[in-house]
Amino acid sequence: MYIIQLAPECAPVAKVGGLGDVVRGLSRELAIRGNAVEVILPKYDTLATGRIWGLAPAYNDLWVPWQDGQIHCTVWFGMAEGVNSYFIEPHGPGRFFERGRIYGEADDDLRFAFFCRAALEFMLKAGKRPDILHVHDWPAALAPVLLYEMYAALGLDRTRVCLTIHNLKHQGVTGPHLLHACGLHRPEYFLHYDRLRDNFHPGAVNLLKGGIVYANAVTTVSPTYAREMRTIENSCGLGHTLDLHAAKLSGVLNGVEYDVWNPETDRHLPAPFSVEHLAAREAAQRALRRRLGLRDGPGPLVMSIGRIDPQKGPHLIRHACALSLELGAQFALLGTATEPGLQEEFGRLAAGLEASPNARLVLRYDEELAHLLYAGADLLVVPSLFEPCGLTQLIALKYGTVPVVRNTGGLADTVFDADYSELPPERRNGYVFNDYDETGLESALRRAVACFREAPGRFRTLQVNGMRCDYSWNQPGGRYVEIYDHIRAR
């Protein structure tokens, strides 16, 4: 099969969160299975070009219809750590991808709508006729609309589309000016409730909704989130649309790239370790404590990693820090805030703990430190309000860090409580709580700390159970091939 992935991120060259990891991991898995796979990305000025082999212009003369004229683009090609990747560089005055960051600009709607239009124009002009166009989240969700309303008639009529929703909260809600900008000239038709009209703002265009309506298959990143996102509390206004299109909706759990995340081969660790040589994990823990300026012992070392965002339960992360210290344990955090208020709040907290030998908050993106944290911590807390899949608990499991998570989304599909799970003991791998409040978090974190201290044998069993889980791309890769086969034009 010939598959093109259209996405705003692909690790490691353009990554903000899990979406970037997933696009890379899935692309590599599909290629291993013998498919021809290409990724199309914007050519951001922040692109990690040092990690792209052979980056060079591949198509110099792409003119993309936009507003009332055309924008000249260069399309670059390179191998981004094993993934065939095209990068679209527009030369227009809007400087769409020269903003020093991937998201967060006032004109994100136009920037990514342009990206979709340019990608389809490129496919058309370069003679690319993929069997499958796999689009990710709202920034790529306009592509199926453009494909079926415009480009199918021009020759892209055999391509079928799979949309993956990584986070329903972000939908790309904008005004009808966007339709005009990208050549969808019948506002009354496109602003119909059955197409792109936002379900609650009649004058607004909802790009993710358009993707759901027009895609041939819609997936999200875990079976539990696929169910949750159709409930009133979690549907973010798209519940009715998802119900209408339920027949093409499914949940496929994300995988983890075990050639990147594997304690037996990880070059960021002082020494490899495995289920058979778990004691060697201590070297990573010592190195982590040295690196963070924490004193040796007392355990457990509790950690949190990821975006600091309202979705991730920031007040509960704070509480995990306070409780860890109160219990005489240690706490480490690596993360970047997504809002100025949270940046300030965690900045203050980090400054207040700067001299503590038992807590450290590192507020930046640091891939190397991430590896050491997964390998050297004892517990990972993930107290999310909602979590479509979550990668941090999957990576933690592989490294023998026991996850303490809220019972939601992909966390519920992958972490099974040591005391209360209905699964057999050999499948239990962490601690789970239900209520999104401090008492809920404490109910699990206190049990985890007690197990670490009072029942080390049992704690080791949890670590081993987690390390033996297979959350590689093997199974989800197979599932996606089935979905592609199902929707393919024959």
- Which residues are near ligand ADP by CB under 6 A? 17-19, 21, 305-307, 334-336, 365-367, 370, 389-392
319-323 contacts at long range (C-beta below 8 A, 24 or more positions apart):
319/438, 319/441, 319/442, 320/381, 320/383, 320/441, 320/445, 321/349, 321/353, 321/359, 321/361, 323/441, 323/442, 323/445, 323/446
Contacts of 462 (CB under 8 A, 6+ apart): 402, 418, 428, 429, 430, 451
Contact 365, 307 (CB under 8 A): no
Output the smallest distance, CB 83 to ligand ADP, in A: 17
Q: Which residue is nearest to ligand ADP (CB)?
A: 18
When the beta carbons of 264 and 366 are compared against ligand ADP, the nearer one is 366
Q: Which lies closer to ligand ADP via its Cβ, residue 204 or residue 321?
A: 321
Residue with tokens 């206004």: 237
Nearer to ligand ADP, 305 or 445 (CB): 305
Name the residue nearer to ligand ADP (CB basis): 139 or 390: 390
Residue with Cβ nearer ligand ADP (144 or 335): 335
Where are the extended beta strands (E) located within 340-384? 359-362, 379-382
Does the CA dihedral 146-151-153-156 come out positive or negative?
negative
Residue number, 11 or 441, with CB nearest to ligand ADP: 11
- How many degrees, rounded to 5, is the angle at CA 483 between CA 480 and CA 485? 110
CA angle 27, 31, 33 (to 5 degrees): 120
CB-based contacts of 396-399 (< 8 A; 24+ apart in sequence): 396/466, 397/429, 397/430, 397/466, 397/467, 397/469, 397/471, 398/256, 398/258, 398/261, 398/262, 398/263, 398/374, 398/466, 398/467, 398/469, 398/471, 399/261, 399/263, 399/374, 399/375, 399/467
Least distance in Å: CB of 362 to ligand ADP?
8
Preceding amide of 12 cis, omega within 30? yes
| Cis omega (within 30 of 0) for bond into 298 | yes
3 state SS of 367: helix
Q: Which residue has the tokens 């099974």?
A: 416
If the CB atoms of residues 392 and 463 are measured against ligand ADP, the closer one turns out to be 392
Q: How far is the CB of 306 from ligand ADP (least distance, A)?
A: 4
Specify the residue, 130 or 403, whose C-beta has the smaller distance to ligand ADP. Answer: 403
Nearer to ligand ADP, 294 or 363 (CB): 363
Our CB check for ligand ADP shows the closer of 305 and 441 to be 305
Would you give the DSSP letter of residue 49?
G
* CA gap 350, 456 in Å, rounded: 31
Cβ atoms < 10 Å from Cβ of 231 = 10
Nearer to ligand ADP, 199 or 262 (CB): 262
Helix axes 438-454, 314-326, angle to 10 degrees: 40
For ligand ADP, give the closer residue by CB, 372 or 483: 372
Q: What angle do CA 311, 317, 319 make, to 5 degrees?
A: 130
Contacts of 195 (CB under 8 A, 6+ apart): 145, 189, 210, 213
As measured in angstroms, the least distance from the Cβ of 344 to ligand ADP is: 17
Task: Name the minimum Å distance from CB 278 to ligand ADP.
Answer: 22
Shortest Å distance, C-beta 21 to ligand ADP: 5
The nearest distance, CB 408 to ligand ADP, in angstroms, is 13
Largest CA distance in the chain: 70
